[in-house]
Amino acid sequence: MDDKSERVTIGGLAKAAEVNVETIRYYQRRGLLNEPVRPAGGIRYYGSADIARLVFIKTAQKLGFTLSEVSDLLRLDDGAHCVEASELAARKLHNVRGKIDTLKRIEELLSEMVTRCHTQQETVACPLISSLYKGVGIL
């Protein structure tokens, strides 16, 4: 049980979680990660729970949660708030679906413009530039 993942310095924690040292401090200032007690003029030591917490944060971020939402999720991590947590995720999911729809519409528009530029037959002006001046309807 002499695990090296216990008793690491902030630099070791940063390496283990693949984040910047400054990022860790930033998370501490934001209250996402707590600062271990500092032994009177010494340095702070971190353990595997801190690494796990950083993994949690990074994962949630990858899924599109903001740091303030990550705070909320961490507060809901007490074994009694699964419903609230999943509601938060459901809202995020809704939000993600909206973004997908918007991006699909953009994809349509862009690919049509690119195609028209490519198959430029009789056209005088650049179809892409003209479209931008004309504006796009739904968006």
Residue ranges that bind DNA, judged by CB under 7 A? 9-12, 19-23, 25-26, 35, 38-39, 41-44, 61, 66-68
Structure tokens at 103: 């991006």
Residue 85 near residue 48 (C-beta atoms within 8 A): no
Would you say 26 or 131 has its CB closer to DNA? Answer: 26
Cα angle 61, 67, 73; round to 5:
85
Closest distance to DNA from the beta carbon of 77 (Å)? 18
d(CA 14, CA 70) in angstroms, rounded, equals: 19
From the list DNA, a second copy, none, which binds 22 (C-beta under 5 to 8 Å, kind-based)?
DNA
Smallest gap from Cβ 103 to a second copy, in A, equals: 5
Residue 46 φ/ψ, nearest 5 degrees:
-115, 160
Q: Are 30 and 21 in contact (CB under 8 A)?
A: no
54's contact among DNA, a second copy, none, with CB below 5 to 8 A by partner kind, is none
Distance CA 71, CA 48 (A): 19
Q: By the criterion CB under 8 A, which residues form the site for a second copy?
A: 52, 55-56, 58-60, 62-64, 73, 76-77, 79, 81-83, 85-86, 89-90, 92-93, 96-97, 99-100, 103-104, 106-107, 109-111, 113-114, 117-118, 120, 125-129, 131-136, 139
